[in-house]
Structure 1
Amino acid sequence: MLEFTVPGLSNADSATLADTLQKRLTACNDLHLTLKHVHWNVVGPNFISVHEMLDPQVELVRGYADVLAERIATLGGSPVGTMGANADHRSWDDYSLGRDTAQAHLGALDKVYDGMIGDHRKAIAVAGEVDPVTEDILIGQTAELEKFQWFVRAHLENAAGSLPTTDDASEKGAARSATA
């Protein structure tokens, strides 16, 4: 229960925003760990380029989680970032690849970013109705997430600009398509 919020926002709007941001916080925590997992498990000819590409993504996504948690607290909520809470509250399955080639992981990460960006955009719509400050935070994060996905896709696309993972709904399917 919120006992305070920022001036100009009702407790109800703040509670809605805090709940929306908590979902994004959980997703950022998961994405940061997924990116690190890929960083540790990528192999093959493109190992070093993918390995090094992921470090800045990990750091920025960790920072996004911090910003979201601080915004939740600013709104009067209590951010939850424990592993147990993250596992209990996420609405997606664990990342499905272990040790695999760079192309396989990049195909799977493309799908991870699809979900992450899509859900961030939904959160932008919620925030846009009541709070331009929270909306702005989410817009800035989404722009960077889209850039990260572009980096991933640049490794996957062919000269015509097609992605082998376009028709895949799952990480494993995208991983198979990326290595075919």
Structure 2
Amino acid sequence: MRERYASGLDDNTAQQMTDLLNANLANVIDLTLDGKQCHWNLQGQGFIGVHQLLDETTDRLREISDTIAERIVILGGQPNGLTSRVAKDSILADYPTDITEVSQHVRELTNRYKQVAETLRKAIETAGEAGDEDTADLFTEASRIIDKDAWFIGANAPKST
């Protein structure tokens, strides 16, 4: 194990946080890729608005990934964003490849955003209990962004009558 760099955290806590951060990094990277899969395959009414929105939300997910990875390095760990690791560790099932309609993609992607946000909220609690308020704060900000983007994407779903 490499020397820890986190000021005020013991090695065990830093390692626990590194593992927690890497688990969430896999989820955020997978969600980013799902967003692009959706972006590339949308068809139907409302296409252009959702298509453009997904460029913006994907950029925000990339920023979250970078922030998570940087925190891992600060704690003395190594971020692992390899596709094999993401495929193995992500909580998300494979994105369906048999849907095309905007409404189908909006529902699917919104549900995935909510899954990742739920995992981030659990991570906030875990980091807080471990005494790493900086990591808890990182997860809180990521959760806020993902919740907001889930709402933005979901607002494009047709209203039920």
TM-score (norm 1): 0.83
Per the alignment, in what secondary structure is the counterpart of residue 4 of structure 1? coil
Q: Which amino acid aligns with 2:13?
A: D
Note the 1:28-43 alignment, pairs <5 A.
28-43=28-43
Note the 1:161-180 alignment, pairs <5 A.
none
Give the equivalent residue in structure 2 for 1:146.
Answer: 147
Inter-partner Cα distance in structure 1 for 2:2 and 2:32: 28
Q: Which amino acid aligns with 2:84?
A: G
Contact 2:5/2:76 (<8 A) preserved = yes
Note the alpha carbon deviations across 1:86-116, whole angstroms, 9 max, x for none: 1122233211144511101001112101211
Contact 2:103/2:158 (<8 A) preserved = no
Note the 1:12-161 alignment, pairs <5 A.
12-129=12-129, 130-156=131-157, 158=159
Change (3 A) 1:92 1:154: closer
Per the alignment, in what secondary structure is the counterpart of residue 152 of structure 1? helix
Per the alignment, in what secondary structure is the counterpart of residue 67 of structure 2? helix
Q: Which amino acid aligns with 1:133?
A: D
Give the equivalent residue in structure 2 for 1:169.
Answer: none
Note the alpha carbon deviations across 1:53-91, whole angstroms, 9 max, x for none: 111100110111111011001101111111112112223
Larger RCO, structures 1/2 (Cα 8 Å, 6+ apart): 2
Unaligned runs of 5+ in 2: none
Inter-partner Cα distance in structure 2 for 1:120 and 1:35: 18
Unaligned runs of 5+ in 1: 159-163, 165-179
Inter-partner Cα distance in structure 1 for 2:27 and 2:91: 9
Q: How many residues align?
A: 160
Q: Which amino acid aligns with 1:142?
A: S
Inter-partner Cα distance in structure 2 for 1:11 and 1:98: 46
TM-score (norm 2): 0.93
Show structure 1 runs of 4+ deviating over 3 A.
none
User: RMSD across aligned C-alpha pairs, in angstroms?
Assistant: 1.6
Contact 1:2/1:11 (<8 A) preserved = no
